Amino acid sequence: MLRSSLIYRTLRGNIIASTTTSEDGSYNLVDIPAGSYTLVQTNLDNSYADITPNTIEVTLAAGEASGGNNFVDEQLGSIQGNVFRRYQQ
């Protein structure tokens, strides 16, 4: 299942909070002070590719909750086969 790391940074780059998503990809960051932030999502392994940008700009007023901050990743597949050498006759 998809697991990601999420970090809230101030516009100056200071980390305010971080978490790892649950097995279903959900996350919840609490006790975030009012301000403007960048939410950064990082895949924990290389078997997924980002479909949407991995950053979201969020501005919180005092006491505000901001929902719908979603990221979309796609699991990568594989292609397999062989290359055979043709023998000359």
Pairing mode, strands 73-75 and 15-20: unpaired
14-42 pLDDT per residue, tens: 888 888 888 888 899 888 889 888 998 98
* Whether the model pTM is above 0.85: no
pLDDT at residue number 89? 67
pLDDT value of position 14: 85
| pLDDT tens digits, 46-83 | 888 899 999 999 999 999 999 999 999 998 999 999 99
Domain residue ranges in the chain = 4-75
Tokens of 69: 């901050």
**Token output for 47:** 């078997």
**What is the pLDDT, as a whole number, of residue 2?**
60
What SS3 state is found at 55?
strand
Which CATH number does 4-75 carry? 2.60.40.10
**Residue type for 78, please?**
S
Instruction: Answer yes or no: are the C-beta atoms of 40 and 15 closer than 8 Å.
Output: no
72 to 10, 23, 42, 48, 69: CA distances (angstroms): 23, 15, 11, 10, 10
